[in-house]
Amino acid sequence: MKISLLTAFVIISYITLGQNSKPYFQQTVNNKIQVKLDDSLNTLTGFIETEYVNQSPDELNFIWIHLYPNAYKNNKTALAKQDKNSQGAKLYFLTEQERGYLDSLHFTIDGISAKYEYHPEHIDISKLILNKPLKSGEKITYRTPFYVKIPKGGISRMGHVSQQYQISQWFPKPAVYDKFGWHEMPYLDQGEFYSEFGKYEVSITLPKEYLVAATGNLQTQSEMDWLNKKAKVFDDQGYDTEDGNLNEKNDSNIYKTIVYTQDNIHDFAWFADKLYYVHKSSVELPFSKRKVTAWTFFRYSRGNYWAQSTDYVNDALIYYSQWNGEYPYDNCTAVDGALGAGGGMEYPTITVIGRVDSKESLDEVITHEVGHNWFYGILGFNERRYPYMDEGINTSNEIRYMQLKYPNRTLSDALSTGLGNFLQINDYSSIYYYYLTYLYSARYNKDQSAMDHSDDFSSLNYGAIVYYKTGLVFNLLRNSLGDAKYDSLMHEFFDKWKFKHPDPEDLYVIIKKYLPETKWLTTDFLNSTKKNDYKILKFESNKVLVRNERRISAPVNLTGLYKDSIVNQQWYDGFRGEKWLEFPTQNLTAIRLDHNNVTLDANRKNNTIRTTGILKKTEHIKLKFLGGVENEYRRNLYWTPVVAWNDYNKFMSGVLLHNGIFPSKLIEWQLMPMWSFGSSNYNNVDKMDFLTAKSCLTFRIPINVAFLQTVVAKIKYQRFGENVVTMGNEEKLDFYQRFHAEMDFLIHKKSESSRFNQDILISRTEIYQNNEIDVYNAYSLIAYKGEMNRSINPFHVMVFAEQGDLFQGFFNDRQMYNKTWLDAQYHHTYGKKGHKGLTVRLFAGTSLDNNDAPFYLNANGQSDYRHDYLFLSRNTSSLVHPSNFSSHMYATGEGGFVTLSNLGMGSQWLATLNVKASIPKTIFKWFANIGTYQNAGTNFFPVFSDELTTVKSEKLIWETGIEISILPDLMWISLPILRSNDLNEFVDKTTKNYIQQIYFSINLNKLYPWSLLKSGAF
Ligand SMILES: [Zn+2]
């Protein structure tokens, strides 16, 4: 979706209109649908009759109608665009046969033929033109046939896997018209729905072997008898005792028609499979004592998790009814879906559940999805515009349910990891995962306001903010108000707004009745990215001094502890600055803020004060292996043994020390000293020369000023051997030290859901080489980087300007240069795996003064003058030592050539084009590099081989060959095959056989232990 000024205007007018006094109304839409499934063609043939009652004060000339199966039609739909920008695009590579669509419409309105047209931008929205204006209070009935091709499953919410069908968002359906106007919206994966309430009567015709799970009440007695029989043939373990009945191949051409009806719903979904097992149960609602039937449908292979699944449905129905208002429908169903990779999806009275890995998580997902019957189903929010309302409030109920049912479930249980003790996460309850995910986003300053539009959330924040942060905020509201008061609030909201479309203001009006000061909730937590952090300063008898370190005055909780047991606990209203809080402090060993982890405290390290002992606030630092999750109770220093190798230091071994991986901290450091076992081979070494190191100190500074979002400042140091010089009989080892400082200014995105990242980088790199010549080089760099970081067709554009200040102490020679260059790359994806495709890269650089600027056709150890990359053999030139294979390592830098030569060196300008194309279904790529430079075609370049000769350069230098991918984008081998004459001549004179003409590349920066730990951390 394009985010334009218009969108912003719509949102602003939305908010302002929200305060206007236009009275509430809602339309009524009653649907009768007949549909037939063809399970060989995977199609639906249907007919829909819709009664549309205009209860608005306005006259309508058209009705927007959603045709959501068209979202799967091609790569131009809003769904496809969102899919393309996500990591791991699924829709993009579908064949024509696997796609879906809806067509064959022919509308009549009250018996008279009517026209429709497609939305100018979205083929999944159409406009039904009314033959005459529909006045306020009047109704029409329109009818149309429709035909649906069901897409392949696993793309989004609708589809089929073989003959298992998930039929949702499948029929022509009017958009909502409310006091803000029309809400036509294209189908999206990230971004849910908004629909009108009404009655549904749906008759489904399909081969008789299918079991159907659907919205509403089944009206067909023969089908009900069959389901009841099915539901009875289970033993206690949930297994079918009449095994062998179920067979997908058991086809017949006998069809059945089954009918479902339901009032007061705004959608209808159904699921069909021949292999379902059926469980049935019933539950009595807490207030009215009315009975609701719970159904679950699942496959045999999931039986171990689903055995008690109806209990989960029942429990969800009881608790949600008790806490929010009674479930108004007669049936509630959960279906095991084959399509999704995880999670679940809600529809009125029925939910579909993805794969789970434990009974507890099945209970959690079923409860969450059943819970949407309240927060989406009965309270019909505009989920697309305010996703936090349904997901966040529902998540807070889910949190309450899980804590009630599984009070001892720890974070490691929730993550299904056996590493709970090692990660030190057994200290926390399972819902701490939500807090950590929020913190992960917030620490990077990537968090967003919960009020954002669903399509504007990054996929991280759709979870971290919409679900988790909001869920925790309402959980905090409940904890601080107390259950009874909170339940009254929710019941009042439910009673006033059931079967209606409440918006945030409608909820806030009710919250205000229970909570006099709501700013911390509605403005700060829900509509900003402000953080919350209280610090405990000191205590005296019967009072505790607490300071608000940030800008949200959320409620505060104090707990008095004697060893591990709670002595007393108290809530206080929020405040700014410092405040003495009345609190009994006798006979305690510690006083803690937020002992139960229900606030969103951004820094828990300052939450505890011990009442005994000398070190009242500090804990001792402990060494801990590898890494772990940040833990307020512990102060850890992490360590990992590391080994490394290069041609000079040989085998190196040492330790990586760091201050934690997850979630990121504002200040992070890594220190990696290593002992070089090869240093003793040389004549000139002293103690220091056994030491190599790579270290980094990072400051992450959230700023949010103008177009800047975050500044990431880094200071790096590294020291490695880089050359061996032979002088007479003596072999001497040269070291380099690299000091690097950078400020990376990350630029705000137009929308966090965009995958286009921009930053401005300023850096200073100083290289000191303790060799005979005494080299001291300094490079100042400024760069703009724009990068489309997505799996389909990624690209980048980078512009650099650099000043080099090169000093050779031995010659007392100082030279300076200024240069600039462009590095632009586009990758056209044509394989299902993102890294397969055609990559085109352009490099063009020029000197900005008359001084020699170092431009290189390729980046090997020597031409990587800023020492940005790590090399196995940095300064051993493969031209001089072609048999030293480690010197054949290269990186994709500057001109991007593979074959090493000194052609082009010292040019004032250089331009090259690099092309790489994956050969489908192989690990091979074809590559071709072509370039030219200042003196191409006119200069002779010296060849330092056995005898000194020269090569005359050509106008165009080029090479082509085959690359073998060992690890995608991490490690590959390049085999040049053909070259331009000058490069050929060069190679002939410097190599003895083909092996010596082969090069390889290893991205050692990505394989650096810290990078590996960080990428594996979450
Ligand atoms: Zn949900």
pLDDT above 80 for 418: no
Cα–Cα dist 546/535, whole Å? 6
- The 3 state secondary structure assigned to 666-734 is CEEEEEEEEEECCHHHCCCCCHHHHEEEEEEEEEEEEEEECCEEEEEEEEEEEEEEEEEEEECCEEEEE
With pLDDT > 70 as the criterion, what percentage of the chain qualifies?
A: 94
Phi, psi (degrees; rounded to nearest 5) at 255: -105, 155
Antiparallel, parallel or unpaired: β 999-1002 and 971-979: antiparallel
CA neighbor of 187 nearest in space, from 337, 86, 290, 80: 80
Q: Would you tell me how many other CB atoms lie within 10 Å of the CB of residue 945?
A: 16
Q: How far is CA 155 from CA 71, 125, 172, 350, 419, in A?
A: 11, 20, 20, 20, 33
CA torsion, ordered 891, 892, 895, 901, to nearest 10 deg: 30
Distance 266 CA to ligand 1 centre (A): 17
pLDDT in tens, 246-294: 444 556 689 999 999 999 999 999 999 999 999 999 999 999 999 999 9
Those residues whose beta carbon sits under 5 angstroms from the ion ligand 1 are: 391
Distance 35 CA to ligand 1 centre (A): 28
Average pLDDT of span 102-115: 97
pLDDT above 60 for 467: yes
Average pLDDT of span 866-891: 85
Sign, CA dihedral 770-775-780-784, equals negative
CA torsion, ordered 332, 333, 334, 338, to nearest 10 deg: -150
Give the type of residue at 26: Q
Q: Which two tokens stand for residue 134?
A: 């529909």
Res 152: pLDDT? 94
Burial per residue of 479-491, b for 16 or more beta-carbon CB atoms within 10 angstroms, e otherwise: bbbeeeebbebbb
pLDDT above 60 for 411: yes
Res 990: pLDDT? 87
Distance 378 CA to ligand 1 centre (A): 14
Distance 85 CA to ligand 1 centre (A): 22
Distance 395 CA to ligand 1 centre (A): 7
Phi, psi (degrees; rounded to nearest 5) at 888: -90, 15
Q: Is 963 exposed, middle or buried (0-12, 13-18, 19+ CB in 10 A)?
A: buried
Distance 493 CA to ligand 1 centre (A): 19
β-partners of residue 560 are 568, 591
Cα–Cα dist 437/456, whole Å? 18
Average pLDDT of span 832-849: 88
Sign, CA dihedral 454-350-158-202, equals negative
pLDDT in tens, 348-370: 999 999 988 899 999 999 999 99
Distance 390 CA to ligand 1 centre (A): 7
CA neighbor of 445 nearest in space, from 697, 632, 711: 711
Give the type of residue at 615: L
Cα–Cα dist 655/714, whole Å? 21
Cα–Cα dist 79/829, whole Å? 19
Contact 931, 913 (CB under 8 A): yes
CA neighbor of 663 nearest in space, from 854, 436, 848: 436
CA neighbor of 433 nearest in space, from 454, 455, 388, 403: 403
Average pLDDT of the residues of the chain: 91
pLDDT above 50 for 604: yes
pLDDT in tens, 148-163: 999 999 899 999 999 9
Distance 401 CA to ligand 1 centre (A): 15
Res 644: pLDDT? 94
Classify residue 866 by its DSSP letter: T
Classify residue 426 by its DSSP letter: T
* List of residues 6+ apart from 940 with CB closer than 8 A: 950, 951, 952, 953
Distance 192 CA to ligand 1 centre (A): 10
Outline where DSSP puts E strands in 851-1007: 909-918, 924-933, 940-944, 948-952, 957-967, 971-979, 999-1002
Q: Would you tell me how many other CB atoms lie within 10 Å of the CB of residue 540?
A: 9
Contact 801, 781 (CB under 8 A): yes
Res 10: pLDDT? 44
Cα–Cα dist 511/581, whole Å? 26
CA 401 to chain centre: 26
Tell the residue number behind the tokens 């999750």, with chain if given.
Answer: 629
Cα–Cα dist 725/773, whole Å? 12
pLDDT above 90 for 611: no
Average pLDDT of span 392-401: 97
Lowest-confidence segment of 240-254, 403-417, 523-537, 987-1001 by average pLDDT = 240-254
Cα–Cα dist 529/457, whole Å? 13
Distance 79 CA to ligand 1 centre (A): 19
Distance 193 CA to ligand 1 centre (A): 12
Tell the residue number behind the tokens 């919409």, with chain if given.
Answer: 466
Distance 257 CA to ligand 1 centre (A): 32
Helix (H) or strand (E) holding 245: none
Distance 367 CA to ligand 1 centre (A): 10
Name the band, by pLDDT with cuts 50, 70 and 90, for residue 340. low
Distance 866 CA to ligand 1 centre (A): 49
Distance 477 CA to ligand 1 centre (A): 20
Phi, psi (degrees; rounded to nearest 5) at 520: -60, -30
Phi, psi (degrees; rounded to nearest 5) at 434: -65, -45
Distance 342 CA to ligand 1 centre (A): 12
Q: Would you tell me how many other CB atoms lie within 10 Å of the CB of residue 263?
A: 15
Distance 391 CA to ligand 1 centre (A): 5
811/421: higher pLDDT: 811
Q: Which two tokens stand for residue 472?
A: 């925790």
pLDDT in tens, 952-984: 999 999 999 999 999 988 999 999 999 999 999
Grouping H, G, I as helix, E, B as strand and the rest as coil, residue 737 is: strand
pLDDT above 70 for 23: yes
Average pLDDT of span 417-443: 86
Classify residue 945 by its DSSP letter: S
Q: Which two tokens stand for residue 788?
A: 């489309």
Q: How far is CA 1003 from CA 566, 742, 823, in A?
A: 52, 21, 19
Distance 577 CA to ligand 1 centre (A): 37
* List of residues 6+ apart from 160 with CB closer than 8 A: 42, 150, 151, 152, 153, 166
Q: Which two tokens stand for residue 230?
A: 């099915």
Res 912: pLDDT? 97
**Contacts by residues 306-310 (CB-CB < 8 Å, ≥ 24 positions apart):** 306/238, 306/277, 306/279, 306/336, 306/362, 307/236, 307/237, 307/238, 308/238, 308/359, 309/238, 309/279, 309/334, 309/362, 309/366, 310/279, 310/280, 310/281
CA neighbor of 817 nearest in space, from 843, 846, 859: 846
Average pLDDT of span 877-895: 83
Lowest-confidence segment of 100-109, 246-255, 524-533 by average pLDDT = 246-255
Q: How far is CA 863 from CA 814, 892, 904, 931, in A?
A: 19, 11, 12, 17
Distance 227 CA to ligand 1 centre (A): 28
Res 596: pLDDT? 92
Distance 8 CA to ligand 1 centre (A): 26
Distance 670 CA to ligand 1 centre (A): 39
Distance 808 CA to ligand 1 centre (A): 65
* List of residues 6+ apart from 95 with CB closer than 8 A: none
Distance 183 CA to ligand 1 centre (A): 21
Tell the residue number behind the tokens 């990072």, with chain if given.
Answer: 698
Res 968: pLDDT? 84
Q: From the CA atom positions of the chain, what is the Rg in Å?
A: 33
pLDDT above 70 for 615: no
pLDDT above 70 for 1016: no
Contact 933, 907 (CB under 8 A): yes
**How many helices (H) does the chain have, and how many strands (E)?**
17, 50
Lowest-confidence segment of 61-65, 68-72, 674-678 by average pLDDT = 674-678
Q: How far is CA 785 from CA 506, 788, 970, in A?
A: 44, 10, 22
Name the band, by pLDDT with cuts 50, 70 and 90, for residue 304. confident
Cα–Cα dist 845/910, whole Å? 5
